[in-house]
Structure 1
Amino acid sequence: MDRLVYTAMSGAKHTLEQQATASNNLANATTTGFRAQLNTFRSAPVVGDGLPTRAFVVDSTAGNDFSQGPIQDTGRALDVAVQGKGWIAVQTADGGEAYTRNGSFKTTENGVLQTQSGQPVLGDGGPITIPPDVTVAIASDGTVSTIPTDGIPNAVNILGRIKLVNPDDKNLKRGDDGMFRTITGGPAQPDANVRLASGALEGSNVNVVEAMVNMINLSRQFEMNMKMIQTAESDSTKATQILSLT
């Protein structure tokens, strides 16, 4: 009976862990630029004395879904969406570099261009600062330019260019903050082929219907494993009663 109990227990445990991933995907179905996380089950043979007659279930992260999400027009000057493959480089709190597809920007009191969660947007020479009383425009190549609102209308001032990168998907890992970093930890090289759509944002690439169906399947798998544990307990109790009678 112990074989059945431990096998069912491992299945129930890892089903709960995969449910957490599915719940996180559903919770971020409306998060700008979110990339769905992919999980899968795999069997792990139990190695010990005798023949390997048992195999536990293990939840493993298969990777991330890097497919393009839907692009929606917002008309806001500080909103940009990455078209196709590519990432926007931002500066983390520890001074490192991370990458996001969330192009909803804002400016601080000091004029620093940053994401809605507070990470400065990196340019060619570091964070980009926008002066006051200007109209901001972001070109498709990431160039940030301004026009004064109280001066000469055609006096265009180029402030810098947003760092756009396109590292290999296999060289990226997701952080606890939802942003991606290179596996080696070093900065990725700029890619001039990455293009932005101004006045638009990219939505999450989570398929809500597929995620809901996955949640239902995982819930049924968990119930099945729990019933197997209850069956093993019932069989063990009955076996003990029979042995006590003999």
Structure 2
Amino acid sequence: MDRLIYTAMTGAKHILEQQATVSHNLANATTAGFRAQLDSFRAVPVIGEGLPTRAFVVDSTVGSDFTPGPLQQTGRDLDVAVQGAGWIAVQAADGSEAYTRHGSLKLSENGILQTQAGLSVQGDGGPISVPPDVTLAIGRDGTVSAIPTGGKSNAVNVLGRIKLVNPEEASLERGDDGLFRVKGGGEADADAAVSVVGGALEGSNVNVVDAMVSMINLGRQFEMQMNLLKNAESNASKASQILSMS
């Protein structure tokens, strides 16, 4: 009886947690460069006195779905999409190096190339500074060039190159801020094979239909766990009645 209660109780608890993960993925179905989070259930034995006959359910994060999302043409000069595998290096709020696929960039008040979240884009030698009154062009290799607005069209100045990296997917972990970092700290080396597409953004890789189906399935699983708890309560009540009769 208690084994049934352990399994049903922990199963219902972690189904709610997995439901929250699916809801988070669904909420970011339109977020550029978003990578869906993957969860799974696993059984863990209860450690204690006596034989390990009881087990409970744990919801564990197995990683992220690194499948590329669809490319969406925007025509904006400061929009870039990583083509294939790879990441854009940015400076996180804590000063560490982090990685994102969200290539919608902007210029800060001080002329620093940043993401829409205000994080500085990392270049070969640090953040990329842009002078005023120029038009920016970003090449396939991440090279940022400036063309004077009122000058000659052939007077192109190279300001720097966006740091593009391609670490192993197994070595990356998602932070609470949605950015990815190398496990254990450290920084990934720049990879010249990574290329970007200008005037485009990568869409989220969340499949809305699959996410909705998962939410329905999880809702039914939660209802099943509740029914198991009701059956356990009913069995305990009937057992008490039999014992009282004897």
Structure 2 Cα separation of the partners of residues 62 and 184 of structure 1: 17
Structure 2 Cα separation of the partners of residues 18 and 159 of structure 1: 45
TM-score if structure 1 supplies the norm length? Answer: 0.96
Compute the displacement of 1:243 (Å). Answer: 2.2
Is residue 221 of structure 2 the alignment partner of residue 224 of structure 1?
no
| Corresponding position of 2:7 | 7
* Runs of 5+ consecutive residues of structure 1 not aligned to the other structure: none
* Runs of 5+ consecutive residues of structure 2 not aligned to the other structure: none
| Corresponding position of 1:185 | 185
| Alignment-mate amino acid for residue 222 of structure 2 | F
| Corresponding position of 2:80 | 80
| Corresponding position of 2:245 | 245
In the comparison of the two structures, how many residue pairs are matched?
A: 246
Is residue 49 of structure 2 the alignment partner of residue 44 of structure 1?
no
Structure 1 Cα separation of the partners of residues 22 and 90 of structure 2: 27
| Corresponding position of 2:19 | 19
Structure 2 Cα separation of the partners of residues 38 and 119 of structure 1: 26
TM-score if structure 2 supplies the norm length? Answer: 0.96
Compute the displacement of 1:49 (Å). Answer: 4.9
Compute the displacement of 1:52 (Å). Answer: 3.8
Spell out the pairing of 1:193-208 with structure 2 (5 A cutoff): 193-208=193-208
**1:200-240: CA deviation from partner (whole Å, max 9, x where unpaired):** 00000011111111111111111100111111112212222
233-242 or 147-156: which moved more?
A: 233-242
181-190 or 229-238: which moved more?
A: 229-238
| Corresponding position of 2:34 | 34
Spell out the pairing of 1:30-179 with structure 2 (5 A cutoff): 30-179=30-179
What is the root-mean-square deviation in Å for CA atoms of aligned residues?
A: 1.2
Compute the displacement of 1:48 (Å). Answer: 4.5
SS at match of 1:152: coil
Identity of aligned pairs, percent?
Answer: 70
174-183 or 54-63: which moved more?
A: 54-63
| Alignment-mate amino acid for residue 122 of structure 1 | Q
Structure 2 Cα separation of the partners of residues 123 and 46 of structure 1: 50
SS at match of 1:33: coil
**1:69-89: CA deviation from partner (whole Å, max 9, x where unpaired):** 000100000000000000000
